[in-house]
A = this chain, B = another copy of it.
């Protein structure tokens, strides 16, 4: 699958914290690969509405599940939306409150969504959404029927207008006069972890837990090298 480099436009040009920004496609892919929830900003009655939803990626396209926001997405047809994916990596505890910060990785994508109508593309998008959440689940679960597919609204967003911002590393006041205060400073990391799977109470005890679920328990949600090496 080929990918194209995201374009730098007026709105993705990084006016602030330019050193923290990137337009590299690899950086975008890394942020998208590290999670499964985005925040979708759509214009509804001339006001932005920010909705959390899951996403999937196929090549140069990000897919979101339309049903989470039917009303807003109907209104948003033909207008530009903004999708932001954020991973919080830690609190940056400086000597001064003023220098406190957050270590994070964040991607922002602008696109005019396209409604997916082709059943084959819909199937591929749902597969990507499912596998983004939990690899192995698409093949394991009962895949959508033709009727279910028809009842599913999916939106396709082009990844070619995007930017990535990150902050990592220690606080910035280690060489300031505040260093003499003798206060502890450093980073308190944050890592989303998978917990112990909870079987559906209606599940027969004879049904075993599949390996792709079982092996997740106690591991970081972020499977990218960033998530596992921290």
Listed in ascending order, the chain A residues whose CB lies under 8 Å from chain B are: 10-11, 15-16, 37, 39-52, 54, 67-68, 70-71, 79-84, 86, 88, 90-91, 93-98, 100, 102, 104, 106, 108, 110, 126, 130, 133-134, 137-138, 140-145, 148, 152, 170-171, 174-175, 178-179, 181-204, 206-210, 213, 216-217, 221, 230
Contacts and interface: CB of A to CB of B under 8 A. Distances in A.
Question: What number of copies of this chain does the assembly contain?
Answer: 2
Contact of A98 (B152, B171, B206, B216): B152
Given A45-B11, A142-B95, A190 B189 contact: no
Contacts of A133: 91, 100, 102
A7 to B, nearest CB: 15
B200 A183 contact: no
B194 A198 contact: no
A71 B16 contact: yes
Nearest to A198: B187
Most interface-central of A40, A82, A106 (chain B CB within 10 A): A82
Contacts of A96: 141-142, 144, 148
A184 B171 contact: no
A10 B174 CA distance: 50
A52 B165 CA distance: 11
B192 A208 contact: no
B49 A11 contact: yes
Given A43-B46, A48-B81, 5 more contacts: A40-B50, A98-B152, A174-B201, A182-B207, A190-B192
Contacts of A142: 95-97, 178, 181, 183
Contacts of A140: 183-184
Contact of A193 (B10, B148, B190, B207): B190
A82 B50 CA distance: 6
Given A98-B148, A104-B52, A191 B195 contact: yes
A10 B192 CA distance: 35
B183 A100 contact: no
A45 to B, nearest CB: 7
B50 A93 contact: no
B202 A97 contact: no
